[in-house]
Structure 1
Amino acid sequence: MFGCDISDKKEISIKIRKKIILLSCFGILAAGVVSYSIYKIVQNDKKNYSINFSYQVNVEGAVNNPGVYEFNKPKKVREILFQTNVQTNADLDSMDLEKIIDYDYDIIVPYKVGTIKKIKWKDLNSVEQLTNLGIKNSVAQTIINHRRQNEVTTWEEILALKGIGPVTLAQLKDIIDLF
């Protein structure tokens, strides 16, 4: 009709089909490469997130294993305290054990009133003696340094130490016997 016979039309049709198949394969291949690249980026971001997401919880007070604990996922106060081996004379009634912690945090577990045996000033010789009773590490170190330099002291001298105010002094009076 238009100067093409049937065999030419079949040949053109086959060439067009081959090009369509070739382009389809290329499109599928390109989509696969893009999908794989996106997958790898997402996986790498997840790894970076899990590596970078961590927080520390400092636990002191009425626990047998005080110290700094590191976590990479949120935990309830109850779960954190389970790892510290809470002492039998701990006062947990005033604590929110269901609170979820997912950032750097300090937990001081209080003692039940009247259950702490006071430490005599002359027997005070380690930071752990004080941190185990809920005194912050920095304050405990200050007290121990003062104790090493002074065989006897007064509450006024202790109050004058750096980092010790009225609240901390009240805590210290509950756990230290100066005489």
Structure 2
Amino acid sequence: MQRAQDLEGAQALLEEAGYPPGSLDVVFKVTTNYPYHVESAQIIAEWARAAGVNMTIEQLTWADWLSQVWVDRDFEMTMMNFFTIWEPDRLYYSLYHTTGGFNYRQISDPMIDEMAEQARGETDPAERLAIYRDIQQRIYDNALDVILWYRNGSIGAAPGVGGLDTVVHPNGSNLNFHRVWLDG
């Protein structure tokens, strides 16, 4: 689902929270490891300014981003790329469950925890899908994340390339090319 941009509504919510235009300063930490994160942060900063928020972009090396954001959880705003986490359990449990391994944002929602645990034990694919849809709706309704875009995860190759069925690692977050080969 796509949310409409509502700068006037954002300004009103900021006012209600005690931040008149220009009084809220936010630091957006992004890694230079992904240049499109920096470009996206620049766009978001312009939108924030239009809503009356002073946003500063702090560009960090990958090592500094991991240290400050992932490990120390020292950030006000950041962005992350979860391109390779395709399997729903790995995605929703690891990112949104209170004890999830990728939950560096420290999201803690008992309803999401309960649903993610329920989905793990569900053997009926249709029922499992329904639970994941409920988790998605809760994430959306509570704006736990704002999804900016989806990258195309298609892998293409010429007919002489073999072994592509082994590219996706069983953990769902790594790509392995060590078993890929070329004919001839």
TM-score by length of 2: 0.29
Bigger relative CO (Cα 8 Å, ≥ 6 apart)? 1
TM-score by length of 1: 0.29
Quick check: which has more Rg, 1 or 2?
1
The structure with the largest helix share of the pair is: 1
